[in-house]
Structure 1
């Protein structure tokens, strides 16, 4: 039976429910608080009493997981009493989808011992693996901690009312801007609080710089849809690919027209430098003062610090511009630490304790972050509300001219837009939509034609998406 469930992952027969998992009940608040404290204390006590067998814990990670290895190794060194001969090995994959594919194929082959013990995943791939019974249900473990985390931290890992991922990070979409450029041309960054003002700032930059300074960039590849579309303009414009029944509506959706129409206006007016993101050519343009802003996820901080040292002290960050008709800031992007359900996963409790300490132990988290900053390496804000109130997470940054990037990242979570509905068809839909945007950026069709083709091809190749009500 389990193999049939796993095989379903490859044929796209799974469905998703993105219900919030913050359960309530009608017990009095004091009684609830006591129950929560007991459950939390019991969980930690049980973990501390266990001595784990020698062996290597394997974790699938993407991006640059070697930096997390630093935290894990130091954590194991401090916990010799419960894990005297345990090691952690992070295996880098090309992305969350690749992690899911490797886990699925390994499980289908019956090689359970070859499955990783844990993996980092995004919501789409959590949905797929949970439906195959391959992720540990973390609802009971996580419930006592939800009140101490940023709002909605577990929402995107909740499938059919159960939580299958431990929240790793919740990062907002923000607006980075080069203050030196705005000062040079006498433009007030405050005007960029709305998208109308953002586009007006772009026009002023173009006029006053004689066309040498661009408002931002546009990618000729798939990342235009990824960052400008799915994670950016679409959720902020309350846009829809599918309706509540899973029918394709992108071609008629007013939110889509607003979102992609805004991108079209900026591109047609010559406000966007055509350059692939995360590539040397764009970094050169940034260092040369040719690109003034980036409307993108907070993760961009890492890439600026690492690749654009020439602009240190010039950048600032503010909340994403808002569409006045919608009034929502940028949508957050969540990542999750998921324990693989591989039968008797002897390290499950140890991994849960590791997650807990990473999120709630201020001393170890702050020590690790200091090391990351020295290396210009990636790190995200904690999701623990108490840690976020610590002065450490409000410290000024030299790279941002004395502004506290960490504090602003936390503030930019306020009034965030809801992300697009997640369906099992999203991976295929992204390829279809991105292909039309790439054709548009290449100058081979208008935005109106691109949206019409998205609609037509989604209906022809996918039809109705599966949405759990």
Structure 2
């Protein structure tokens, strides 16, 4: 999650980058607990309200830790006999190795969806406990937490993709954002903006290879696919990816794109001076107008992503996190009691997403994966002043409802950035064709990552 002081880019770097997925990761095909003959560890019962005991819970440091700390206080009121030791930990550096060694384990931890599939053998199988909530939980969040038909993470947040746009510039160019229903419409809108301002390159294309690949996966998820299937087989060579890459090439060839790094100086300058006006990105881009954009604060709005085909999905996921319970935890049942409270119960999810001393208007960089939380009588976070008072909750919830299911993210995903992420940059620079990107990336990922795993 992003925080008021740290852009999401740096958090995602810790989550997926710098070799994090590779540390202690087993090949995906060997992830199913019980494959070694020891049998899966399953949690099947929920403790009573009078349960007693002590648990250690890990979260990342920063503002999100403070949000959960306040929410855990609400849990303590509901379960006064459960002592919760809430600790700020460098999860990306510590958790994977700790799961393998089994030493000094927490009873539960925050973790990125990207890592759950590769570490399932070290986690409790939560399928039976999730069952009562399954029909009301986002299919996407269930799918990325599922290995071999079993669920190993407690689904928490959804990070739906949205189209961020400058309302004043679109109005001046005669572009109705409600009519941007396809990606061809988005190109036409960029052309209209460019006619009004020849210096404009209205559409943001990401220059950072890692974030560029994450963005590409959001657009692929929108079409119901991803870089790898549930068995870890590479499926980049497909109509869906060719459609996306061909669209990127059109934006580049027609000089309609600003190729800049997410919220770096060049990106911010183009956003502020009107050269960029269309940003297809995750809900957590809301950080930019709230914290970084000074001249244009209040002029940005969000709407649904365009669809790739008529009637197609209007959003895809870009990032996300869940909660896990280590298979060797001392008090796993009490950890489940906490996570059930935070994700599936009131006042738990309201304590996480609602107004607090940390986020006075509520946590507005994601939405809950649990449908009843998204359908609460009152929005869990308030309209965003930096978006001109727009009701971002309504827009983000509508987008989240349409996110297609996915597959567990393979352990080699971050290393594939060396191939796919870098080749995507070459496409944006006009140095490769869509077929070049697909052929070269597929061959190198298969040879250097999948086959070696």
After TM superposition, the score normalised by the length of structure 1 is: 0.77
Equivalent-residue separation in structure 2 for 1:149 and 1:245 (angstroms)? 23
**1:399 partner SS:** helix
Which residue of 145, 157, 181 corresponds with 1:193?
A: 181
Give the paired residue count: 418
Which residue of 222, 231, 234 corresponds with 2:218?
A: 231
Q: 1:156 to 1:456 in 2, by over 3 A?
A: closer
Higher relative contact order (CA 8 A, sep 6+): 2
1:130 maps to 120
For structure 2, the residue ranges without an aligned partner over 5 or more in a row are: 1-21, 33-42
Render the CA deviation track for 1:382-406: whole Å, top value 9, x for unaligned. Answer: 3333332334218543333343111
1:3 maps to none
**Larger Cα Rg: Structure 1 or Structure 2?**
1
Q: 1:442 to 1:118 in 2, by over 3 A?
A: farther
1:296 maps to 281
1:352 maps to 336
Which residue of 82, 91, 107 corresponds with 1:117?
A: 107
Q: 1:126 to 1:239 in 2, by over 3 A?
A: closer
Q: 1:441 to 1:332 in 2, by over 3 A?
A: closer
Equivalent-residue separation in structure 1 for 2:369 and 2:275 (angstroms)? 35
2:52 maps to 51
Render the CA deviation track for 1:285-321: whole Å, top value 9, x for unaligned. Answer: 3233332121112222234322225433322222111
Equivalent-residue separation in structure 1 for 2:400 and 2:113 (angstroms)? 18
Correspondence 1:38-437 to 2 at 5 A = 43=46, 46-53=47-54, 57-61=56-60, 65-75=64-74, 78=77, 81-84=80-83, 86-93=84-91, 98=92, 102-108=94-100, 110=101, 112-131=102-121, 134-151=122-139, 153-212=141-200, 214-227=202-215, 229-232=216-219, 234-237=220-223, 241=227, 248=234, 250-251=236-237, 253-324=238-309, 327-333=312-318, 334-343=320-329, 345-346=330-331, 348-363=332-347, 365-366=349-350, 369-371=354-356, 372-374=358-360, 379-393=365-379, 396-419=383-406, 422-437=409-424
Q: 1:281 to 1:349 in 2, by over 3 A?
A: farther
Q: 1:135 to 1:179 in 2, by over 3 A?
A: same
Equivalent-residue separation in structure 2 for 1:186 and 1:303 (angstroms)? 25
1:450 maps to 437
Q: Relative to structure 2, which stretch is displaced further, 378-387 or 288-297?
A: 378-387
Equivalent-residue separation in structure 1 for 2:408 and 2:334 (angstroms)? 33
Q: Relative to structure 2, which stretch is displaced further, 192-201 or 268-277?
A: 268-277
TM superposition shift of 1:377: 6.0
Q: 1:290 to 1:377 in 2, by over 3 A?
A: farther
> Contact 1:63–1:92 at 8 Å: present in 2 too?
no
**1:49 partner SS:** coil
1:31 maps to none
Q: 1:202 to 1:67 in 2, by over 3 A?
A: farther
For structure 1, the residue ranges without an aligned partner over 5 or more in a row are: 1-6, 18-38
After TM superposition, the score normalised by the length of structure 2 is: 0.80
